[in-house]
Amino acid sequence: MAVRVAIAQINMHWSTAENLAAIRRAMSAAKLHGAEICAFSELAVTGFHREIAREALPKVVVPAVREICELSAELSLAVALGARVFGENGEKYIAHLLVNEHGATVASIEKQGLTVAEATFFSRGRGRPVGLLQGLRCSAVICREVEDAELVTAELPLGSVDMVFIPGALRQDPEKPKANPPQFVRNIQRIAQLTGASVIQTNWPNALNRPEESVDGGGSIVCAPDGAIMFRLPLQEAGVGVFTLGEDRFLWQPQ
């Protein structure tokens, strides 16, 4: 049976309350157009910006995630959701949560490939668990982890997953000559080929810390298991793209 997937390429906001409202709208739009799985970007709940310390607190994040899980169950809509999670000993992780169609969190993939700046605030994750969403084996490779194909394939060997989510803010390296396709796109294609999975990227369409970087925002990519690019969503636009897995066209709903 063909699975309908939505990519929520929605704008990042400064507050969790604003992001939560945008997530709810995107989930409703996804369901309206027949989606069974809805993918969000890295740290979709809080946003990924210089006010992260203010927003990424248990009293803020935990109720927001709970509300999303409840809506997931209400809509029978599985979600792949970027959120901060908290360890028993005070660890703080950038995680991608896989919430199934019953509203249960079936996997928490915690980011291993931290930048120097991220490592001053977040803890480094271990492992790359797999969870079932609508019967599909799913996992995530978060943002610039796409550059470490050796690590990804050690944890997600060929044939071990059906779908890989790539949430983040990936763009052409401004310090290098323009390439077509950019290196990050080639990295995404390689992850698809090495895992044998459909790859769903969700790229933030805007940047808050440095708004000028929004010029490279959006353009979320879907790759077939052989690495072929099925399509890209619009650049610099916020919306929800809904498609049937394996097809090369999508329905675009501006947000």
Over the chain (255 residues), the average pLDDT of each successive run of 10 is: 93 96 98 98 94 91 98 98 91 96 98 91 93 98 94 96 95 76 93 98 92 85 98 96 97 96
Residue 150 φ/ψ, nearest 5 degrees: -65, -45
What type of residue is 43? L
CA gap 124, 133 in Å, rounded? 25
What does the pLDDT read at residue 29? 98
Cβ(40)–Cβ(200) under 8 Å? no
pLDDT at 166: 98
Q: 213-247: per-residue pLDDT in tens?
A: 777 789 999 999 999 999 999 999 999 999 999 99
Name the token pair of 77: 């809509």
Domain boundaries, given as residue ranges, for the chain: 4-254
Neighbours of 104 (CB within 10 A): 13
Global pTM reads 0.95
The highest-level CATH class for domain 4-254 is alpha beta
Quick one: pLDDT at residue 1? 59
Tokens of 27: 């989930």
The string of DSSP codes covering 91-151 is -EEEEEEEE-TTS-EEEEEE-----HHHHTTSPPP-----EEETTEEEEE--GGGGG-HHH
Give the separation between CA 111 and CA 93, rounded to whole angstroms.
7
What's the pLDDT at 231?
97
